[in-house]
Amino acid sequence: MNSKIGSNFMKKMQTHVKCRGKFYPRTNESIRRTQVPDDKVPWHVEWAEYSPVMYTAPHLLRTSGELPDWADPEDFGSVHPKWNAVDVNINRKSHMGVYEVHFNKPRNPQGRTGLQGRGCLGRWGPNHAADPIVTRWKTAKGENGASKILTHLKTSMPILQFVAIKRKDCGEWAIPGGMVDPGEDSTSTLLREFLEEALNIEETSAVEERRSIVNQVSRFFRDIAIRQLIHSGYVDDPRNTDNAWMETIAFNFHQPSENADNCLPSLKAGSDAAEAVWVDICHTNSLYASHSDFLEAVAILRGAHW
């Protein structure tokens, strides 16, 4: 990663904020977080009275046999999970290095969040996601019929657009990313999530059309000339807790040509997405979790307006 991108991003990531709100998400404001001041976020800062509420969503408290494959049991009983390792087909390693395990529970490497347990996250420790940031230049046809890249009125910098989806779970706009399935590698997740959420591949029944969409996007995602790692690590996600947290790898796939229509099929929302559209990248984009930080990093990388 370009060092300017890295340092801006890491500065923001030093103190998580979105996972220190008043209420835990998806609980109708019934679960309150202990309010953790900035200076008490790091675990090494003494806070003897710190004893936040313990909360794990009811659907994650079922017995092992009834749990979905993306979730751990609440208590492992006699089974010992392999923390900081790939545990059978579950990746319990963190991008952030070795995390502490305190009283048998992994500890959030970024510090206190004001809530113990897993909240609504499936895994104790890191929960891995992958985010494909697909971009193109914003263009318009000039008088001679050729397309030209549009620049921003204020900054005179070229305008980038990215593929945004509207999440069904919270109604927020986001990058079409998702969770890495058990046994899946994150590169496959990037492709699968994009196909599902931005191209509605699951409901494309015509075999030929389906095959052509998959081939077109796979080719595009494999092209190392257009692919750039933007982030791999912790995400300040509102669902994070003291014992369970989100991590992601975010890659930018940039359509280089001014005539971007050649690279990708038309967008069509599917799966967890209610809408899928191209959106101009700008600092005013208000997006889910750390997604606008990723876009800022992409804008810097590509020399675009932010």
Q: Which residues bind ligand BGC (CB under 6 A)?
A: 129, 131, 174-175, 177-179, 235, 237, 246, 248, 289
Question: CA of 17: how far to CAs of 79, 271, 290, in Å?
Answer: 34, 29, 10
- Sequence-distant contacts of 13-18: CB under 8 A, at least 24 apart: 13/110, 13/233, 13/234, 13/236, 13/290, 13/293, 14/110, 15/41, 15/110, 15/111, 16/41, 16/110, 16/111, 16/113, 16/234, 16/236, 16/240, 17/236, 18/236, 18/237, 18/238, 18/289, 18/290
Residue nearest to ligand BGC (CB): 177
- Strands (E) in the chain, as ranges, are 54-56, 86-87, 90-91, 101-102, 105-106, 116-119, 125-137, 139-141, 147-149, 160-167, 173-174, 178-179, 227-234, 244-254, 273-280
The amino acid that residue 276 corresponds to is: A
Which residues, 6 or more positions from 178, have their beta carbon under 8 angstroms from its beta carbon? 129, 130, 189, 192, 193, 196, 197, 272
Task: Give the residue with the Cβ less far from ligand BGC, 217 or 249.
Answer: 249
Q: How far is the CB of 177 from ligand BGC (least distance, A)?
A: 3
Task: Give the residue with the Cβ less far from ligand BGC, 137 or 253.
Answer: 253
Task: Give the residue with the Cβ less far from ligand BGC, 194 or 220.
Answer: 194
Task: Give the residue with the Cβ less far from ligand BGC, 6 or 256.
Answer: 6
Q: How far is the CB of 129 from ligand BGC (least distance, A)?
A: 4
Q: How far is the CB of 25 from ligand BGC (least distance, A)?
A: 11
Q: How far is the CB of 293 from ligand BGC (least distance, A)?
A: 10
DSSP state letter for 79: -
Task: Give the residue with the Cβ less far from ligand BGC, 174 or 295.
Answer: 174
Task: Give the residue with the Cβ less far from ligand BGC, 137 or 288.
Answer: 288
Q: How far is the CB of 36 from ligand BGC (least distance, A)?
A: 19
Q: How far is the CB of 235 from ligand BGC (least distance, A)?
A: 4
Q: How far is the CB of 179 from ligand BGC (least distance, A)?
A: 6
Task: Give the residue with the Cβ less far from ligand BGC, 159 or 175.
Answer: 175
